[in-house]
Amino acid sequence: MYELIQVSENGYYIQSPARIGLVRLTDRDVCLIDSGSDKDAGRRVRQHLDAGGWRLAAIYVTHAHADHTGGCQYLQKQTGCRIYAPGVERDFTVHPVLEPSLLYGGYPCRDLRHKFLMAQPSDAEPLTEAALPAGWEAIPLPGHFFDMTGFRTPDDVVYLADCLSSRETLEKYRIGFVYDVRAYLDTLERVKAMEARLFVPAHAEPGEDMAALAQYNIDTVHEIAGRIEDMCRAPMQFEAILQKLFAGYGLAMTLEQYVLVGSTVRSYLSWLKDTGRLAARFEDNMLLWERI
């Protein structure tokens, strides 16, 4: 874990639970794409910087989930690097309590205010075209989170962030986190058509063609949506839908899983309502979801 793997003349990634991109800008300067999950990840990154004799110029955040921004504060304090994050992701990077607050839907209890759901705050700037290194392309990849962004480097390596889950991950956990289902499906369709020398997803193996894996992720989304729709042949409350999904997929409920999967299921319900497949109504002051 945390090995530095070279994939092009100037492109690398650090093997970690959420892969960290490292790109050489000059003989001395490098930048990162994301920073890992915590201070320990930041220390591991720092070891590679020191071994290469490199200066960290900047961190480019793909999105502000804690497993991607947890090392930012440590690295910024240690190196003075600048941090750039796209759109709303900057707000979450600067104010990381927003992540567990969003997931829970209110002020998160102490059990949700930990490093896996809430990174340490860092001083991030807006990601603009002028902030990108020469020859880089920012690729909007919304859906998994608000303004998630990938990057294409001059070596034609594309860092895809979290828009793809591996087959193994989906077979084990079934329901990957999604904030906006419609945007996520649109992103996956774009990824299917992309070409590059190499793709580096954060949570799947790098490869030259992501079309088959993108289609598998698309199929999984539709399978989950279909299962929810079938459950709602009779009116159902959200909690009952969530319980049946956990039971049907053999998942174990914890507080973290409740907020992560629960938030995702609410996003599916919104998408199914917006596309005319479910209706929402109140009965005895309870919100019920029902197939149309």
3-state DSSP assignment of residue 90: helix
CATH (domain of 26): 3.60.15.10
Looking at the domain assignment, is residue 9 inside a domain? Answer: yes
What per-residue confidence (pLDDT) applies to 172?
93
Mean pLDDT of 182-208: 98
Mean pLDDT of 106-111: 98
- The token pair at 64 is 């502000």
> Per-residue pLDDT tens for 210-226?
999 999 999 999 999 99
Q: Confidence class of residue 177 from pLDDT cuts 50, 70 and 90?
A: very high
Looking at the domain assignment, is residue 57 inside a domain? Answer: yes
| Burial of 234 (C-beta count, 10 Å sphere; 0-12/13-18/19+) | exposed
Which contacts of 270-277 are long-range, i.e. CB under 8 A and separated by 24 or more positions?
A: 270/181, 271/180, 271/181, 271/182, 271/225, 272/225, 272/228, 272/229, 274/182, 275/182, 277/225, 277/229
Indicate the average pLDDT of the chain: 98
Looking at the domain assignment, is residue 282 inside a domain? Answer: yes
Looking at the domain assignment, is residue 276 inside a domain? Answer: yes
The C-alpha atoms of residue 272 and residue 291 are separated, in whole angstroms, by: 9
**Domain count of the chain?**
2
- The domain boundary, picked from 88, 109, 134, lies at 134
DSSP class of 275: T
Q: Provide Rg for the chain, Cα atoms.
A: 20
Q: Answer for the pair 260, 104: CB distance below 8 angstroms, yes or no.
A: no
Looking at the domain assignment, is residue 176 inside a domain? Answer: no
Nearest C-alpha neighbor of 218 from the set 165, 269, 169: 165
Q: Confidence class of residue 182 from pLDDT cuts 50, 70 and 90?
A: very high
- The domain boundary, picked from 103, 134, 165, lies at 134
Q: Confidence class of residue 40 from pLDDT cuts 50, 70 and 90?
A: very high
pTM value?
Answer: 0.97
Q: Answer for the pair 84, 125: CB distance below 8 angstroms, yes or no.
A: yes
Which residue range(s) make up the domain with 119? Answer: 1-134
Looking at the domain assignment, is residue 117 inside a domain? Answer: yes
